[in-house]
Amino acid sequence: MKMVLEATSKEGDIVMDFFLGIGTATAVAHKLKRKWIGIEKEGDILLFYRSRDIRGITSIGVVEKVYDNLTNPNEIISCVGKRSVYSRLEIEEIAKKPTKIILFWWIMHFEEPVEYRFLLDNGILNWPPRTIIKIPHDKYLKIKGVAEIDERYTIN
């Protein structure tokens, strides 16, 4: 990825990543001093994975709004309003690096988490998620089935 970005862009250029996945392109762009925009779009489904205790997907939500590359603490606070678990000091520290804000609607908590072993065995993940990752629709349908998410919450 580094060679591709060095060959196709210069310092200060904007790199667009339309298939954000785990963010490799945006991370490399940032290291090469390129501005970058990673796309998650409004209406995308978010699956929340708890790594420290449960090691599984526990909840589902829907992306409401995405703000990218924010470095001004006041702008971050303006975007999140009262929807933050961080103090002003923590936001000021976070804002030292380009920050992505994803506002979302929480839909439901699963009665039983979708366990990490299921995610591995069904080829949904190859390793524990570290960040936001995009999964193909067919893999989402597997999660939807085991988590018993019905049509009231998402449509196939």
Structural domain harbouring 7: 2-38
Residue 80 lies in a domain: no
Question: Is the same domain home to 63 and 106?
Answer: yes
pTM: 0.64
User: Which of 17-26, 49-58, 144-153 shows the highest mean pLDDT?
Assistant: 49-58
Q: What percent of the chain is modeled with pLDDT above 90?
A: 20
Residue 81 lies in a domain: no
pLDDT of residue 118: 93
Question: Is the same domain home to 31 and 107?
Answer: no
SS3 120: helix
Q: Among 43, 37, 33, which Cα is nearest to 6's?
A: 33
**Cβ atoms of residues 151 and 57 within 8 Å:** no
Residue 74 confidence (pLDDT) above 80: yes
pLDDT of residue 22: 55
117: confidence class by pLDDT, cuts 50, 70, 90: very high
Measure the CA–CA gap between 116 and 16, rounded to whole angstroms.
Answer: 31
Question: Is the same domain home to 111 and 129?
Answer: yes
What residue has token string 């995308």?
Answer: 44
Q: What is the CA radius of gyration of the chain?
A: 17
114: confidence class by pLDDT, cuts 50, 70, 90: very high
Residue 86 lies in a domain: no
Question: Is the same domain home to 31 and 64?
Answer: no
Question: Is the same domain home to 9 and 64?
Answer: no
Residue 107 confidence (pLDDT) above 60: yes
Q: Output the CA torsion sign for 103, 108, 114, 115.
A: positive
1: confidence class by pLDDT, cuts 50, 70, 90: confident
Residue 20 confidence (pLDDT) above 70: no
**Cβ atoms of residues 121 and 65 within 8 Å:** no
Residue 83 lies in a domain: no
Residue 137 lies in a domain: yes
Q: For the chain, how many structural domains are there in total?
A: 2
Question: Is the same domain home to 60 and 105?
Answer: yes
Question: Is the same domain home to 33 and 10?
Answer: yes
Residue 13 lies in a domain: yes
**Cβ atoms of residues 67 and 45 within 8 Å:** no
* Cα angle value 131/133/134 (rounded, 5°): 165
Residues for the chain: how many in total?
Answer: 156
